[in-house]
């Protein structure tokens, strides 16, 4: 009994730490939707492109990992601008589903570009936290997973301050509430949207760096994987809700790890999607979304 | 005038695509052969090695004057495609090789999950006009899942016999380490080769030699998170860890072994992992791992091939890639013996002649020793080969010979 309880707690801890990553990806998707009321399905590929770009200074010039981190963030921001320019800026108003199609196209385009450039061969991503776990009582904790959890908390606090305590944050909230009125009040909707792209892409680049490091190897398929996880998180959390994305990410991580532990690998994804269907049927507004 | 220009362009385009434009097989002095491998994705390291070894064989054959056909020396020309280890890609590529490129035969594919549907498109009943399957010859070097060549009489393979390989492996482990009695197993539940090797080769061998299986865990071919499964392996505390997983996930898992302080007395790996890729990717974490294989640099010929393939193509010589080299030499010998015409009009007859000769080939020379091709009527492994098994062990970041057949040792 004690042994089973220890297993449950160990997997709960792993699930929460891993779920922090899901939450961060979900926050990115949520910010897009919250401010622009549109889905950016190319967000996963933006993150993926950023972390691949981060490998350039490492592999070509043997630069330290902080340079890799900065390149990941900068790379994701640049790719984010490309996505905003190509998939959103010139689309006519009133065609709300059009960005879904353009960003799906961009997701495939970026993923295939990376496949062509790298032959989709796995690239090693050095882990600055090493290959050792540390013991916490009867539990083993991976330092890189813990780093994701801590980074998640830091990013969320910074995001909260940015959204609630800065002029840009006020503009974001205004555009999210009513773009037309915001424009009349002197807020540039285009500028706000572009900066939102920069912000979410930077968050994605930073998250992607941590994830690639914990994975130890990087493949283009990571883009589709992050897109699926991100969409599951925002549906469970509630469209446009940042606290919802946080709780949904953690919940998804915990459910996946418990299913994996007790039932095996085949049930990990089954339970994740059962959770999604359960929310779609029983609570379509998600954990913290506004009811329609 | 405009219509004349447009008409001329269409006519030229049509002529370029018509059979007449590709009718220069024997005339142009080439014998067309094909290769389809996983050249992208996580299995690319396997496919690229096969491509490199086949390129080496073609270079050698062409430099030595080519292939003698109808009293003329023709050069081998190879069409290579990437199937990315995906069935849908493989199904497109096989049509292109057979119908557009009109190659005599093809090497590959790399992955069993590609070979299975691709072989399914081939003719099932030889000479039956009602069977509209492709009359196209495969001489596979890599796809190793047991029994794949039974799918079609056009499918031949020079691949390892995994049930025999793991039977031998555990027999020898039992002899050399009688104190090891328990095992824990990991395999990739979404990868045909991994599943079939575990269920069809390793499990029967473990049962035969009385090993107690304490736990079996699964992950996926492209997984990157192994925490829960490795915890189970740690708790099983088995004497032997049997890793029926491929390089990408194996390297991820053995890193997790280190994190969770998992230390088995012995590790046994899947055949495909006996590669340089595993050494580079996993490093010290696979030290001591034992793997049954069909290739090691145990004689001067093997050493020379491995060195040349690496120097010229950065291609790793292993049990999957070396057969590509061997198969091209075998086909060269057959083509020169059966007297094909090497013309577009006779392509189907040529393929059939080579197929029939391959089915009755018997023994041919491989890099480390003779290889016996089983005929169509072999009750267990039709159109598959029997060849020497070697066991290698990871030692000081190199695959060293742990056991080889006594007759090879003497040589």
Query: Nearest CA to CA, how far is A215 from chain B (Å)?
Result: 5
| CA angle (A266 as vertex; B40, A279 as ends), nearest 5 | 110
In this predicted structure, the answer to whether residue A291 has a pLDDT above a threshold of 80 is: no
Q: Enumerate the domain spans of chain B.
A: 25-160+299-386, 162-293
Q: In this predicted model, what pLDDT tens digit does every residue of B1-23 receive, in sequence order?
A: 555 555 555 555 544 444 434 44
* Rounded CA separation B173/B202 (Å): 13
pLDDT at B25: 78
SS3 A110: helix
Element at A8 (helix H, strand E): helix A2-36
**Residues on chain A touching B252 (C-beta within 8 angstroms):** 215-217
Considering only the beta carbons, identify the residue of B189, B255, B258 that sits closest to A265: B189
User: A119 vs B219: CB contact, 8 Å cut-off?
Assistant: no
Highest mean pLDDT among B8-22, B203-217, B253-267: B203-217
In chain A, domain spans: 2-125+140-282
Sign of CA dihedral A103, A104, A107, A108: negative
Q: Are B371 and B326 in contact (CB under 8 A)?
A: yes
What is each CA distance from A184 to A37, A180, A196, in whole angstroms? Answer: 19, 6, 20
DSSP-assigned letter for residue A126? -
Residues of B in contact with A260 (CB under 8 A): 228-229
Chain B: nearest CA to A214, how far in angstroms?
9
For residues A3 and A159, give the distance between their C-alpha atoms in angstroms, rounded to a whole number. Answer: 40
**Backbone angle region of B364, left / alpha / beta, with phi > 0 → left and psi within -120 to 50 → alpha:** beta
Is A210 within 8 Å of A21 (Cβ atoms)? yes
Residues of A in contact with B223 (CB under 8 A): 265
- Residue to substitute from A260, A267, A270, A272, interface B, most B β-carbons within 10 A: A260
- Give residue B21's pLDDT: 40
Tell me the pLDDT tens digit for each residue of B367-407.
999 999 999 999 999 999 999 999 999 999 899 999 999 98
Q: Do B227 and A215 touch (CB under 8 A)?
A: no
Which residue of chain B is at minimal alpha-carbon distance from A117?
A: B40
Distance (Å, whole) CA A86 – CA A237? 28
Distance CA A277, CA A281 (A): 6
**What CATH topology corresponds to A2-125+140-282?**
ABC transporter involved in vitamin B12 uptake, BtuC (1.10.3470)
Q: What is residue B23's predicted lDDT score, i.e. its pLDDT?
A: 41
Please report residues of B whose CB lies closer than 8 A to that of A261. 228, 231
Contacts of A120 in chain B (CB under 8 A): 40-42, 44, 84
Average pLDDT over residues B269-278: 92
Contact A260 B228 (CB under 8 A): yes
Which CATH topology does B25-160+299-386 take? Rossmann fold (3.40.50)
Query: Cβ–Cβ of A119/B45 closer than 8 Å?
Result: no
Give kind and range of the element (H or E) at residue A222.
Answer: helix A222-237
Q: Could you identify the residue written with the tokens 């840009």?
A: A168
Q: Number of Cβ pairs closer than 8 Å across A and B?
A: 68
Task: Find the residue in B nearest to A220 (Cα).
Answer: B41
The residue among A91 and B266 whose pLDDT is bigger is B266
Q: Cβ contact (<8 Å) for B218 and A266?
A: yes
The number of CA neighbours under 13 Å toward the Cβ of A15 is 22
Contact yes or no for B97/B34 (Cβ under 8 A): yes
User: Candidates 3.10.580.10, 3.40.50.2300, 3.40.50.620, 1.10.10.10; correct CATH number of B162-293?
Assistant: 3.40.50.2300
Which pLDDT does position B42 carry in this prediction? 82
* ipTM (interface pTM): 0.84
């Amino acid at each position: 009994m004690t042994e089973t309880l220890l297993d449950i707690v160990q997997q709960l801890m792993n699930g929460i730490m891993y779920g922090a990553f899901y939450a961060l990806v979900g926050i990115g998707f949520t910010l897009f939707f919250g401010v622009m009321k549109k889905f950016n399905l190319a967000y996963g590929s933006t993150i993926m492109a950023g972390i691949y770009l981060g490998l350039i200074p490492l592999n070509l010039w043997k630069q330290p990992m902080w340079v890799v981190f900065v390149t990941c963030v900068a790379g994701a921001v640049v790719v984010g601008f490309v996505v905003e320019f190509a998939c959103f800026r010139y689309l006519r108003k009133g065609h709300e589903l059009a960005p879904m199609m353009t960003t799906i196209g961009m997701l495939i385009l970026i993923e295939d570009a990376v496949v062509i450039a790298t032959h989709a061969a796995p690239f090693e991503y050095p882990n600055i936290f090493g290959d050792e776990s540390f013991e916490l009582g009867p539990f083993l904790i991976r330092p890189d997973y813990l780093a994701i959890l801590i980074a998640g908390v830091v990013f969320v606090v910074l995001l909260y301050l940015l959204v609630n305590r800065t002029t840009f944050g006020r503009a974001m909230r205004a555009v999210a509430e009513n773009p037309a009125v915001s424009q009349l009040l002197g807020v540039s909707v285009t500028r706000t949207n572009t900066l939102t792209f920069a912000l979410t892409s930077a968050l994605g680049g930073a998250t992607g760096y941590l994830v690639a490091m914990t994975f130890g190897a990087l493949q283009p398929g990571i883009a589709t994987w992050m897109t699926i996880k991100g969409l599951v998180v925002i549906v469970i959390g509630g469209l446009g809700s940042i606290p919802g994305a946080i709780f949904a990410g953690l919940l998804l991580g915990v459910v996946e790890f418990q299913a994996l532990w007790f039932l095996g690998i085949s049930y990990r994804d089954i339970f994740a999607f059962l959770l999604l269907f359960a929310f779609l049927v029983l609570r379509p507004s998600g954990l913290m979304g506004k009811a329609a | 005038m405009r219509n004349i220009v447009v008409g001329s362009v269409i006519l030229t385009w049509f002529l370029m695509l018509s059979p007449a434009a590709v009718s220069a097989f024997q005339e142009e002095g080439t014998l067309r052969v094909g290769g389809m491998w996983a050249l992208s994705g996580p299995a690319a390291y396997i496919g690229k090695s096969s491509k490199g070894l086949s390129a080496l064989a073609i270079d050698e054959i062409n430099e030595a004057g080519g292939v003698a056909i109808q009293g003329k020396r023709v050069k081998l020309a190879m069409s290579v495609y990437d199937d990315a280890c995906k069935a849908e890609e493989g199904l497109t590529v096989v049509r292109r090789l057979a119908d557009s490129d009109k190659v005599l035969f093809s090497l590959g594919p790399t992955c069993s999950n590609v070979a299975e549907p691709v072989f399914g498109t081939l003719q099932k009943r030889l000479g039956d006009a009602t069977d509209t399957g492709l009359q196209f010859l495969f001489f596979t070097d890599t796809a190793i899942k047991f029994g794949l060549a039974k799918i079609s009489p056009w499918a031949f393979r020079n691949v390892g016999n995994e049930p025999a390989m793991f039977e031998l492996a555990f027999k020898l482990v039992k002899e050399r380490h009688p104190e090891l009695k328990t095992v824990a197993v990991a395999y990739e539940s979404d990868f045909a080769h991994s599943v079939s090797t575990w269920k069809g080769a390793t499990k029967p061998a473990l049962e035969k030699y009385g090993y107690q299986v304490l736990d079996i865990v699964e992950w996926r071919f492209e997984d990157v998170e192994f925490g829960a499964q490795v915890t189970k392996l740690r708790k099983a505390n088995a004497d032997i860890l049997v890793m029926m997983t491929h390089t990408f996930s194996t390297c991820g898992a053995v890193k997790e072994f280190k994190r969770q302080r998992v230390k088995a007395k012995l590790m046994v790996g899947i055949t495909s992992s006996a590669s340089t890729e595993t050494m580079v990717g996993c490093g010290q974490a696979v030290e001591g791992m034992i793997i049954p294989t069909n290739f090691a640099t145990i004689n001067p010929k093997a050493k020379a091939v491995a060195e040349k393939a690496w120097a010229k193509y950065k291609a790793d010589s292993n049990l999957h890639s070396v057969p590509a080299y061997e198969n091209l030499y075998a086909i060269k010998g057959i083509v020169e013996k059966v007297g094909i015409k090497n013309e577009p009009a006779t392509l189907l007859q040529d393929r059939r002649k080579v197929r029939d000769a391959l089915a009755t080939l018997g023994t041919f020379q491989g890099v480390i020793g003779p290889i016996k091709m089983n005929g169509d009527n072999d009750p267990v492994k039709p159109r598959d080969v029997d060849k020497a098994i070697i066991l290698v062990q990871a030692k000081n970041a190199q695959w060293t010979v742990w056991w080889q057949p006594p007759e090879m040792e003497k040589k």
